[in-house]
Structure 1
């Protein structure tokens, strides 16, 4: 078994090996979520699985890096992404606007990346308390897989750095609407040295992806992992690949976010030309930073896959300005992006004939 280097071999393994196991793992977590005693926590846990399956499907593509250990990588990725999606629902669509609550909830994501230590009371700042142990089980599932990672010490520092960026973003962007931009700008000011050529909304986008963590874990599951890989992986994925990932996600959600009054980082560009130029900038820099990664061809496929699959989403077709920009972005990505674009359109056509939970392949 080798890491895929070509689009066809990548998609074959995604459909044959990755997605079926992702769905098995999610089905198990869904059964646990159905047993949550508190009705609000149960509702949000089930909604996060039903509505965001594609996040696990997309993240689990990174498991192919682990070769023979890809199933263990998938188990970790699905559990960790399920925590992320569940907490996003609790912060975004539930009963609280308290940053202290969001900080307490997201302690679970940091605990999931450590090998030991007592689990904390993640619900201590909100009225809903009884999840029947659901969130703790997700944390322990992540720990179980990491305890078997021989090279954990080589990646832990980098994983926790990316995790803390992610958690900070979730805290700042979910508070009262009038406070969000101010908090995000101040946060960016404190971290400006990390991404000196970016605006606050671009830095925020770069922190909102879990791909870097999944890539680190998948590499650390390999027998030939080298300590020097960890820094190159973190620097390869953060900021540009992760930033491209999240900016594309916001790019296609513009109409929906305007309607719902939600924060969207694409709204802060001065015009569509500026948005197009910066997305192209992220594409170019994402490619550039794969040069120092092991198996760089695979990571370049991930970049092109992000373009093709996001921009083939039906949301793009419903937004004329977005559709026009998307054509230019696909063109700038070259023939491989176009391959993934056609694959995405075909997959969505098949989805209409399948159960609703069979959703798109890549996600934030």
Structure 2
């Protein structure tokens, strides 16, 4: 399968090959979520699928890098992203604020990248327990796909590293409100030496994306060496992942204010500074992508990412956000405008 390098061929393949498979797998998980015995766990599982299934749609695009393994990689991506979104719901609307609870829940994301690891009782430290095997089934699905990929063992260490960052972030950002910023600042101080110059909240954003893991999984369907996987990681972390999550937080501003949730966009001194930094992240992401195989594809994904988020109804229905979004579309160039218009039309149907 040829990797698309033009906006129109990418869009065609996404609609004809990627989305039908992604939606099939999402529907299967929705059916399983509907059978969860515990009321609260069932509610959060179904809510996460209803509200965040578009994350699976976006991530599944990386299946196009996997050739004959396209459907298998999409199966992994949908399962892994479904874990991420489900746990985010459990932690955001949690009946617990314990670090050990969040840590054990997110151990499932590490186990999902570790074929042969037996699932644990990830709900041990919370009252709601019986999910009918839902989370363990998501974990084993990820394991089943990964263990068959010829390049997986060369990618696993880096996937674990990115998952470790992700899980730390989710733990620290969901504990008691008066502890969050200090935990995140201290965490950043421990890793500051290994990333380019940025703030603690920008580093946190860089760790909150699953795109690097999806990219590595797709290339693991080929027999690549460990050094090739290092190049892929450097292509996505920190800049592409940072851009991804900053856009995610940008569109969630109103919702996060209402719910009093942590949002990294709020820590900028002004809107001008926020726009300037997102532009900077976009430029650095384009630089880091140049070293990747199939770099034209990754450039399209990066530009499509901007469009995908800015076409969201949260932006379209908010005059102030929509005005700012126009600046992002302009610095994204013509491919971003093309994807934006198509994303907007697609969301209306």
Shorter-chain TM-score above 0.5: yes
Look up the match of 2:241.
Answer: 242
| 2:112 aligned residue | 112
**Could you report, residue by residue, the CA deviation over 1:180-233 in whole angstroms, capped at 9, with x for unpaired residues?**
11111111111111224110110000000100000001011125x343320011
Q: Give 3-state SS (helix, strand or coil) of 1:150's partner.
A: coil
Distance 2:235 2:157 in 1: 16
Alpha carbons 1:69, 1:222 under 8 Å: kept: no
Q: CA deviation at 1:318?
A: 3.5
1:176-187 correspondence to structure 2 within 5 Å: 176-187=176-187
Aligned residue number for residue 175 of structure 2:
175
Q: Across the two proteins, how many residue pairs are aligned to each other?
A: 349
Equivalents in 1 of 2:347, 2:133: separation in Å? 36
> C-alpha distance in 2, partners of 1:118/1:53?
27
CA displacement, residues 287-323 of structure 1 (integer Å, 9 cap, x when unaligned): 0000110010000001100111211222223334322
SS of 1:202's partner is helix
The corresponding residue for 1:268 is 267
Aligned pairs (5 A) from 1:1-364: 1-222=1-222, 225-350=224-349
In the aligned structure 2, how far is the partner of 1:317 from the partner of 1:37? Answer: 37
Instruction: In structure 1, list runs of 5 or more residues that go unmatched.
Output: 351-364
Cα RMSD after superposing both structures: 1.2
Q: Deviations over 1:145-174 (max 9, x none)?
A: 011011111100000000000000000011
Stretches of structure 2 that go unaligned for 5 or more consecutive residues are none
Confirm or deny: 8 A CA contact 1:312 1:341 kept in the other structure. Answer: yes
* Segments of 4+ moved more than 6 angstroms: none
Greater relative CO, 1 or 2 (CA 8 Å, sep 6+): 1
Contact 1:216 1:233 in 2 (8 A): yes
Q: TM-score, normalised by structure 2?
A: 0.97
Q: What SS is found at the alignment partner of 2:175?
A: coil
Looking at structure 2, the residues matched to 164 and 279 of structure 1 have their Cα atoms a distance apart, in angstroms, of: 24
Query: C-alpha distance in 2, partners of 1:17/1:324?
Result: 34
Give, in whole Å, the separation in 2 of the partners of 1:241 and 1:293: 12
Displacement, 1:93? 1.3
Question: SS state of the match for residue 52, structure 1?
Answer: helix
